[in-house]
Amino acid sequence: MTASAEMPPPPDDWRPDNPRPAGWLTPEDLAVVRAQLPLVYVDAVPVRVDESGDVVSVGLLLRMGPRGLTRSLVSGRVLYHERIRDALLRHIEKDLGPVALPQVPTSPQPFTVAEYFPTPGITAYHDPRQHAVSLAYVVPVTGDCRPQQDALDLDWLTPEEACSEDVQSEFVGGQGVLVKQAMGWVGRLP
Amino acid sequence: MTASAEMPPPPDDWRPDNPRPAGWLTPEDLAVVRAQLPLVYVDAVPVRVDESGDVVSVGLLLRMGPRGLTRSLVSGRVLYHERIRDALLRHIEKDLGPVALPQVPTSPQPFTVAEYFPTPGITAYHDPRQHAVSLAYVVPVTGDCRPQQDALDLDWLTPEEACSEDVQSEFVGGQGVLVKQAMGWVGRLP
Amino acid sequence: MTASAEMPPPPDDWRPDNPRPAGWLTPEDLAVVRAQLPLVYVDAVPVRVDESGDVVSVGLLLRMGPRGLTRSLVSGRVLYHERIRDALLRHIEKDLGPVALPQVPTSPQPFTVAEYFPTPGITAYHDPRQHAVSLAYVVPVTGDCRPQQDALDLDWLTPEEACSEDVQSEFVGGQGVLVKQAMGWVGRLP
Amino acid sequence: MTASAEMPPPPDDWRPDNPRPAGWLTPEDLAVVRAQLPLVYVDAVPVRVDESGDVVSVGLLLRMGPRGLTRSLVSGRVLYHERIRDALLRHIEKDLGPVALPQVPTSPQPFTVAEYFPTPGITAYHDPRQHAVSLAYVVPVTGDCRPQQDALDLDWLTPEEACSEDVQSEFVGGQGVLVKQAMGWVGRLP
């Protein structure tokens, strides 16, 4: 959910060359809806854990955005007639590849709900394109993760590194705060 | 979120005689969008608590639906540019009146997320009109609650009564399960 | 945490033939403490999940208790200087064997806290031996599980079966309610 | 739960001049138990909220400890045969006075569990006196709060102030991290 003055390329789930199941919107329709309704999103914080479930590192994507390199989480829309857990799986596969082997949480209770507003300052999250209500989950991955598509790289940082000022300054739209909230929830906030 | 064969009257938040802020959809537009996107909802379980915060009773609305009397929770859409906590306040005021004095939770973390699908059987929740992703909260109310608008009555039942088979049979769309989940979460499931 | 009139044999973690690290109590000391302090416990609800993290079945232990066959969860004390996640691992290994391959949750936030009182009726949970404050977690297991020690069997039941009246009647001390709360939390309460 | 080389004065709940109900330990017995068992604690983060439940400020106690002024949360033991919600009420009254009017959460699910170890570095929390497992809750208070007993003052800080480096440096034992976790959970982490 990268911020951008010139509307960034839309996520792959509605790009024109994709087969579009019934119920999917055209890019034009979506643009109209985006100005009128909050959209349902998911944010996944991919983590590596040790054998006792303790978080060892956090996977952050590195993308080239309009304002330079930015870090981001796995994030995207929930589609019509799609379960939240299936949206999580789809976006993790889209961003981390088909063999990331994610352990989607058993419960739909998110660790938080990130409300991205088109107007900055209302919440900690901001998305100039739209109002998105994003259910945020920590998702352990045990397989091989490779950045896909527009991501340049995937870095595995310790919780301390991910919460450091340097790394935090590389997020846009409040996703840095979301990482810190995730680390607080797993008991690894420095 | 009552189930109905003949599309029920839309909730008041988009009724024609309402002033409609920029970004609100016309009923026609909403009908189109409903077939193409999941909508963001909130479900509130109104409760009375004792001085130690223990739930004493649950407030259930009684409405006349197409299939007879049904029980329901406080429930409704989150609007464009509206915070979840403001949507909770608005729907509680709409359904319980202006002096219910709700204590909206400090955290946006819901006790569960109810995914209402237009197709029954995918989750425990069903809404023939739409795909709604509903953030569910338990909300203590301390003031005077009066059923508004289309609600015939507001009953305060004990957790045991609210989870009983008789009362459970009076819900539609899975809201009975949601009440049981709420009672489980507050430690009052019989 | 089985209920019993004649004090049941203590759980293995403090049995006399065990090597007892510094800080462990003798059975006599523990008996004294149990009448004076709440003890820290964990309850684990072992589950099998499908690839999207949805709960498919619940693992319930079958034991012979003083009042006949009873179902129980994986449950036990947290020891001095032991982390909660290590206590979960230890009790899961103790009850399900060394190759259960549990996925201990990333977060210490339990789905509920079960307060077992020696006096029945104060909460939904009861343990005649002691006051235990038990942090309850749902733990997916992916390996081979075999009942250990005093357990006669381990049954994998669907959420619907585990919440049925028949199965619920086979629990003691409120652990049946705890199973229902777990199923509510994962969105699988019937 | 202030850290101290010379064992700090014990919290009032076991001071010698208190009437001691059956099941309470003498200070000598408690000292023995503390070296052998984890104790059950609660941590309460007192907050002021606006009418929509959004946290406006955090109440922090100022105490004179062995190493100078320290900030602390409302914190203390859960007694034998005491419910968590009653322990929360008792400690809030003990620390903030009898007319703080706390809104104890409806659910026993804490926002986190703080594991205070006598050995530093195992978790983010440390208590040289003991191993305490503390259930942490955010508790809105609406009444008049006055620091009691050994507290010199009660400051109401904004979430931003409470998470600032200056204020964070005034906590001991990891309670500063706990405040940040609480602010993350309510969506107010800066």
Three-state SS string across chain C, please?
A: CCCCCCCCCCCHHHCCCCCCCCCCCCHHHHHHHHCCCCEEEEEEEEEEECCCCCEEEEEEEEEEECCEEEEECEEEECCCCCCHHHHHHHHHHHHHCCCCCECCCCCCCCCEEEEEECCCCCCCEECCCCCEEEEEEEEEECCCCCCCCCEEEEEEECHHHHCCHHHHCCECCCHHHHHHHHHHHCCCCC
Pairing relationship of beta strands B39-49 and B74-77 according to DSSP bridges: antiparallel
Residues of D in contact with A188 (CB under 8 A): 124
Q: pLDDT, tens digit, for every residue of B79-125?
A: 999 999 999 999 999 999 999 999 999 999 999 999 999 999 999 99
| 3 state SS of D61 | strand
As separate numbers, helices (DSSP H) first and strands (DSSP E) second, chain B gives 5, 8
What is the average per-residue pLDDT within B32-58? 95
Contact call for A85 and C111, based on CB within 8 A: no
How far off is chain B from A114, nearest CA to CA, in Å? 8
Confidence grade of residue C80 (pLDDT, cut at 50, 70, 90): very high
* pLDDT: which is higher, D14 or C37: C37
What is the average per-residue pLDDT within C135-152? 94
Residue B14 pLDDT: 37
Interface with A, mutate which of B109, B123, B186 (most A CBs under 10 A): B109
- Total-model pTM: 0.90
Nearest to B186 among D106, D111, D187 (CB): D106
Contact call for C36 and D80, based on CB within 8 A: yes
How far off is chain B from C46, nearest CA to CA, in Å? 18
Instruction: Search chain C and give the residue with CA nearest A140.
Output: C106
Instruction: Search chain D and give the residue with CA nearest C117.
Output: D81
Weakest mean pLDDT among A36-40, C34-38, C172-176, D51-55: C34-38
How far off is chain B from D20, nearest CA to CA, in Å? 22
Weakest mean pLDDT among C37-46, C149-158, C162-171, D105-114: C149-158
Q: pLDDT, tens digit, for every residue of D115-155?
A: 999 999 999 999 999 999 999 999 999 999 999 888 999 99
Please give the helix or strand (H or E) that residue D140 lies within, else none: strand D132-140
What is the average per-residue pLDDT within A100-114? 98
Q: Is the pLDDT of residue B12 over 80?
A: no
With b for 16 or more beta-carbon neighbours within 10 A and e for fewer, the A24-52 pattern comes to bbeeeebeebbebbbbbbbbbbbbebeee
| CATH numbers and ranges of domains, chain A | 24-185 (3.90.79.10)
Residues of D in contact with B47 (CB under 8 A): 106
Q: pLDDT, tens digit, for every residue of D6-65?
A: 333 334 443 344 444 445 677 887 888 888 899 999 999 999 999 999 999 999 999 988
Instruction: Search chain C and give the residue with CA nearest B182.
Output: C184
What is the C-alpha separation between A1 and D91, in angstroms, rounded?
43
D173 in the Ramachandran plot: left (φ > 0), alpha (ψ -120 to 50) or beta? left
What is the average per-residue pLDDT within C1-11? 35
Residue A94 pLDDT: 96
What's the whole-number average pLDDT of chain C? 88
Q: Is the pLDDT of residue C6 over 70?
A: no
